[in-house]
Amino acid sequence: MSVPVLQSTISFGGVSFDPLVWSEPLMWVVLAAFLGSAVVSRYDRERARLVAVAGWVAFGAFWLVLIPHFTLTQKSLIEGVGSLAAVPLSVWAGYQLYQGRDSLFVLTRAVGLMGLVYVPFLTIGPLRQALVESVTDQTAFLLSLFGFDPLVVDGFSYQGIEITEKPYPYESTFWFEGNSRPITYNILLACTGMGSISIFAGAILAVDAPWRRRLRALALTVSVIYVLNLFRNVFIAVSFGYQRMQILPGLIMTVFGIEDPQMVSYYVADRILAQTGSVVVLVGITYFLVRELPEITVLVEDLLYLVTGTEYDLAAAFDAGTESEDVATPGDD
């Protein structure tokens, strides 16, 4: 197996394990299975079903090996819980598809397209560098508009001081003068918004709707996510770099298992506030898409069914809501 760009080795009981090393081949298996099933379904639906089911099982294994990475290395409660929940949900989706829930072919195709959008940025160095450095420059520009002007540096060290947790030597690190040591905030691929963009891009492109409406929804969604992500980076850079979020430092250090008090602002700003806000924004964007691209309800309904076990008819619910808005009420002119 190849060594990933960013390593995440975890040691327990004398045994070392790097989730990212194992997740990479599983990622390719999932991508091949989901996209392959979309192609095969044009000619042989039952064979495509078996390929897709295998892909969902592999998808569950993919999230299983990433649980230690998100919980122990990234110390992200939201991502950790999400990856943990994704394991049984993936297997359950495969089982439901095997049992004949054909609407899950759309979700299968959507996840494959999500990977098709995201994986090039993950695996092609020049493409990833161009995106990361562009987002860094735009974040720096916004910081300057708000009256902040931190230094942006490249490499793995600056002035003889190592830049921690930096996976590639791009010009993508904001350098702040801290208290006990300089504070560095690295813009990574995860900070570009490409993950969220790929999720919605895959969903929009997978549904059966006129291309004009799909492209309009895609343009609006990508624009909103990209701009909001830049402001997210600004918020974290200011909060962390200038130590604006030193809230309950003792408790935060204990909960997240950190030793440097300067990291408290980062974990409060990113792991708690920014990630929670991102979930709210993604729900809001989903609501917008359901209104603007009703065909996407098949994906939302399937996801709700997988989570709750209850069937939903969102199209009827939104139609009813629209009709009620048109009904005059007492006092209307």
Count other Cβ atoms within 10 Å, centred on residue 44. Answer: 11
**What Cα–Cα distance (Å) separates residue 87 from each residue in 123, 253, 301?**
24, 29, 19
- SS3 category, 92: helix
Burial 45-64 (b: 16+ CB within 10 A, else e): eeebbebbbbbbbbbbbbbb
Q: In whole angstroms, give the CA distance from residue 26 to residue 9.
A: 17
Q: What is the DSSP string of 220-283?
A: HHHHHHHHHHHHHHHHHHHHHHTT----SHHHHHHHHT---GGGHHHIIIIIIIIHHHHHHHHH
DSSP 13: T
Active site residues: 191, 232
List the structure tokens of 255: 């909960």
